[in-house]
Amino acid sequence: MTAVRLHSRQWKIVAVAGMAIVVICLVVAFSRHKEAVQVWTASATYADLNQEVTTNGTVIPTSEFQARAFWPGIIEKVNVELGQRVRPGQLLVSMKDPFAISRLTAASAALEAARLGAENVKKGGSQEERINLAGDLQHAEQAQVQAARSLAALQQLRARGAASDAEIAAAKEKLENANTTIQMLREKAEQRFSPREARNANAHVEDAQANLQAAKVQFNNANISSPIAGTVYSIKVVAYDWVPVGADLIRVADLRKVEIRAYFDEPEIGKLAAGQPVTITWDGKPGSSWHGHIKQAPIAATSLGPRSVGECVIAVDDAKEELLPNTNVMITVTIDQHHHVLSIPHAALRSEGTKDYVFRLVGGKIQRVPVTLGLVNVERAEIAKGLVENDVVVLKVMDNRELRDGAVARSAGDVVPAIGITDFVRKYILRFRPG
């Protein structure tokens, strides 16, 4: 009986010792597990990287006409509708001016009369006057021929003693008068008006042209037409509105030709250059995008509220009449591009002074690795030197512990949820204690 009790006691001692060894092993394993740093990781991969700058901008038409009131008055009629396409010369709006048409008609008639008068001066008179003058010259030439014949006949008669000297003298005088009349008529036909009269006639034409132009301006001021082809995108008035001088009435623009005025913060100005590609988005059409390029890079910095900015002009290459004037859009300028380069998430990048480095996870341990960077954007960083493809780098620590070179680490995807040492003992040790 004593031997049985002794054997039973020895067995219990062995069992307790064995359990103690198991507990020690489990505690050591748990402690080691507890010391491992839990981290999020990512792999170095090849990708295309863009370096971009983003800001907002305003759509501005490059071909636009703004109809404005040239004097204070009342709108008589609006002749177009919002969104209507118009052609050059199409009437947009009329203001009340009952004398505009009569002034234009009278000025046109005065110019026509002045031009006719100048033409008559240039040609030596009106058509009727020229016809009459030609008839008078013909009669004078016939009279000259008749006087010359009469003188010749009398001279023959005188040679035979049948005509007196008085008759000869009278015939000569008649011929001289005929010659004088012809000379006067020819001079009248060739130089009826003096140079001074010609200048006066031309001055009348110029004056009439100026009056007509003034009448046209007055008419156009009352009846405003579009000088360009485009779309009516703004109508500020209706019939019978009273408007002051200079009031904005109607706006027409070619919506296929727009550009964007954008303002970039001063640190970004030096990165911009003409020709850089631009992507444009607008909240008014979610999911849509347009493309363009920098037409004019900023040439100076100016104050815009608390900001120091540079104005940039951006040409839109594919507006397609979808970007409306004066709307606010988002501008993303690609200032640099690298294709198929080794890169890591930007969150993995660390720096100390001017030196850049990453924490690489190798065999469950952390290695601090210095790296040489290429292009860097808000999402990824190009690794020119220091890593190879598929190297695993640490993004962040799950429990906010500080990383150090050589520390034991475990990727968050492989971590088994940890429990406290007290819970571990209660769950796995106390339940097996001897009774």
Query: Within this chain, do residues 262 and 335 fall inside the same structural domain, yes or no?
Result: yes
Same domain, 335 and 354: no
pLDDT at 26: 56
Could you report the per-residue pLDDT of 250-261, keeping only the tens digit for each? Answer: 999 999 999 999
The CATH number of residue 263's host domain is 2.40.30.170
In this prediction, what percent of the chain has a pLDDT beyond 90?
A: 40
Note whether residue 360 is domain-resident.
yes
Instruction: Please give the residue range of the domain that contains residue 231.
Output: 65-100+218-252
Mean per-residue pLDDT, 414-427: 36
Distance, CA of 224 to CA of 245 (rounded, Å): 14
Antiparallel, parallel or unpaired: β 85-86 and 91-95: unpaired
SS3 content of the chain, % helix, strand, coil (to 5): 40, 35, 25
**pLDDT confidence of residue 190:** 59
The reply to whether 387 and 242 lie within a common domain is no
Q: Considering the domain boundaries, does residue 147 fall inside one?
A: yes
Residue 54, pLDDT above cutoff 50: yes
Instruction: Note whether 110 and 202 are same-domain residues.
Output: yes
For residues 244-249, give the mean pLDDT: 92
- Contact at 8 Å (CB) between 35 and 408? yes
The yes-or-no verdict on residue 8 having pLDDT over 90 is no
Tell me, yes or no, whether 433 lies in a domain: no
Alpha carbon distances (Å) from 13 to 4, 17, 26, 237:
14, 6, 20, 105
From the number of C-beta atoms within 10 Å of its C-beta (0-12, 13-18, 19+), residue 234 rates as: middle
CATH of the domain at 94: 2.40.50.100
pLDDT at 426 over 50: no
Is-contact 401 411, C-beta < 8 A?
Answer: no
Is 5 within a domain?
Answer: no
Average pLDDT of span 211-216: 77
Residues 260 and 310 in one domain: yes
What average pLDDT does the segment 337-349 reach? 94
Q: Quick one: 141 and 184 in the same domain?
A: yes
Q: What does pLDDT average to over the chain? A: 80
Task: Please give the DSSP secondary-structure letter assigned to residue 62.
Answer: S
**pLDDT confidence band for 23 (50 / 70 / 90):** low
* E strand or H helix at 428: helix 421-428
Mean pLDDT of the region 165-172: 76
| pLDDT-derived band at 187, boundaries 50, 70, 90 | low
pLDDT, greater one: 127 or 195? 195
Write the DSSP string, 320-359.
TT-S-TT-EEEEEEEEEEEEEEEEEEGGG-EEETTEEEEE
Higher pLDDT, 234 or 159: 234
**Residues 148 and 198 reside in one and the same domain:** yes
Instruction: Tell which of 339, 374, 404 closes a domain.
Output: 339
The whole-number average pLDDT for the span 354-366 is 92
13 lies in some domain: no
Residue 359: predicted pLDDT: 94
144 and 190, same domain (yes or no): yes
The 3-class SS string of 230-298 reads: EEEEEECCCCCCEECCCCEEEEEECCCCEEEEEEEEHHHHCCCCCCCEEEEECCCCCCCEEEEEEEECC
Q: How confident is the model at residue 433 (pLDDT cuts 50, 70, 90)?
A: very low
State pLDDT tens for residues 152-161.
777 777 777 6
pLDDT at residue 295 greater than cutoff 50? yes
Q: Which of 149, 179, 208 is the last residue of a domain?
A: 208
Q: For the residues 355-383, what does the mean pLDDT come to?
A: 93
Tell me the pLDDT tens digit for each residue of 106-138.
888 888 887 877 776 666 555 565 566 566 667
In a domain, 14, yes or no: no
For residue 415, pLDDT beyond 50: no
Give which of 83, 77, 71 is closest to 252, Cα–Cα: 83
- Yes or no: say if 217 and 235 are a contact pair by the CB < 8 Å rule: no
**Final residue belonging to a domain, choices 208, 229, 244:** 208
Name the DSSP letter for residue 401.
Answer: P
Please state, in angstroms and rounded to a whole number, the distance separating the CA atoms of residues 379 and 49.
9
The pLDDT-based confidence of 73 (bands split at 50, 70, 90) is confident
DSSP state letters, 180-231? HHHHHHHHHHHSSS-HHHHHHHHHHHHHHHHHHHHHHHHHHHHEEE-SS-EE
Q: What's the pLDDT at 33?
A: 47
Q: Does residue 127 sit in the same domain as residue 198?
A: yes
pLDDT (0 to 100) of residue 213 = 82
- Asked whether residue 232 falls in the same domain as residue 195, the answer is no
Residues 148 and 193 in one domain: yes
Q: Which of 222, 218, 225 is nearest to 243 (CA)?
A: 222
Instruction: Give residue 76's Cα distance to chain centre.
Output: 34
pTM over 0.85: no
pLDDT bin (cut points 50, 70, 90) of residue 98 is low
Average pLDDT value for residue range 71-84: 90
Give the CATH number, domain containing residue 373.
Answer: 2.40.420.20
Task: Tell me how many domains the chain contains.
Answer: 4
Please give the average per-residue pLDDT across 90-100, as a whole number. Answer: 82
More confident residue, 207 or 383: 383
- Is the same domain home to 108 and 96? no
Whether 165 is covered by a domain: the verdict is yes
In a domain, 203, yes or no: yes
Rounded alpha-carbon distances, angstroms, from residue 191 to 115, 130, 133, 137, 200: 19, 12, 12, 15, 16
Per-residue model confidence (pLDDT) at position 135: 66
DSSP track, 6-39: HHHHHHHHHHHHHHHHHHHHHHHHHHHHHHSEEE
